[in-house]
């Protein structure tokens, strides 16, 4: 009797966790988009006000911002500092590849980042800043869309996880 109750609780718990895990995707995407915008703002500041060199700026930003976003910046900075005769775009693009598996970004976000990387380091200070601002605008639009999607699906997956667990526990009781 007690064993049955414990079993049912375990089933409900695990199912709820699965639901939460499914919902996490949407939450993390909005969070990472937000962090990414912060990182790009810092890059803009570094270029505009401190006129830093790109590798050091990348490393600094990568250290202060964690997660997948920070890793991209750190890797790019390291690749550039390693003096391997890479252009900035190549370094950026190779760092982007690790984002594909490790982060929750979708295809549209990665495309925006790729386009950003293509012109990175190829124009003067003002050109860079303009392009950063353009990318920031695009990312902001994506973030708004991502928030709308998140609102719809996060609650749904959480409820589904809980309700499915309860249904399973009742049927197997």
As measured in angstroms, the least distance from the Cβ of 119 to other proteins is: 38
- Please report whether residue 152 would count as binding other proteins according to CB under 8 A: yes
Among 18, 35, 81, 160, binds other proteins (CB under 8 A): 160
Q: In this structure, what token pair is assigned to residue 6?
A: 């414990």
- Please report whether residue 170 would count as binding other proteins according to CB under 8 A: yes
Q: What is residue 122's DSSP assignment?
A: S
- Please report whether residue 145 would count as binding other proteins according to CB under 8 A: no
Spell out the residues 6+ positions from residue 38 whose beta carbon is closer than 8 angstroms to its own: 65
- Please report whether residue 81 would count as binding other proteins according to CB under 8 A: no
As measured in angstroms, the least distance from the Cβ of 172 to other proteins is: 10
Angle at 39 between CA 43 and CA 92, to 5 degrees: 75
As measured in angstroms, the least distance from the Cβ of 138 to other proteins is: 26
Q: Judged by CB under 8 A, which stretch of 6-14, 88-96, 120-128, 156-164 contacts other proteins? A: 156-164
Radius of gyration of the chain (CA): 21
Q: Judged by CB under 8 A, which stretch of 55-63, 81-89, 128-136, 163-171 contacts other proteins? A: 163-171
72, 59 Cβ separation under 8 angstroms: no
Q: Judged by CB under 8 A, which stretch of 17-25, 45-53, 129-137, 160-168 contacts other proteins? A: 160-168
Q: In this structure, what token pair is assigned to residue 4?
A: 């049955």
- List Cα–Cα distances, 82 to 85, 86, 87, 92, in angstroms: 9, 9, 12, 14
Identify the H or E element spanning 140: helix 125-172
- Closest CB to other proteins among residues 62, 161: 161
- List of residues contacting other proteins (CB under 8 A): 152-153, 155-156, 159-160, 163-164, 166-167, 170-171, 173
């Amino acid at each position: 009797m007690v064993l049955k109750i414990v079993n049912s609780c375990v089933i409900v718990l695990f199912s709820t966790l699965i639901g939460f895990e499914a919902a996490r995707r949407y939450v993390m995407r909005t969070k990472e988009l937000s962090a990414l915008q912060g990182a790009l703002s810092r890059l803009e500041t570094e270029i505009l006000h401190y006129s830093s060199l790109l590798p050091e700026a990348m490393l600094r930003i990568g250290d202060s911002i964690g997660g997948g976003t920070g890793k991209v910046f750190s890797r790019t900075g390291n690749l550039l500092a390693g003096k391997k005769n890479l252009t900035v775009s190549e370094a950026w693009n190779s760092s982007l590849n690790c984002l594909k598996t490790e982060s929750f970004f979708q295809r549209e976000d990665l495309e925006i980042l790729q386009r950003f990387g293509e012109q990175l380091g190829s124009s003067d200070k003002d050109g860079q800043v303009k392009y950063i601002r353009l990318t920031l605008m695009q990312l902001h639009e994506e973030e708004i869309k991502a928030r709308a999607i998140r609102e719809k699906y996060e609650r749904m997956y959480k409820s589904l996880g809980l309700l499915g667990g309860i249904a399973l526990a009742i049927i197997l009781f």
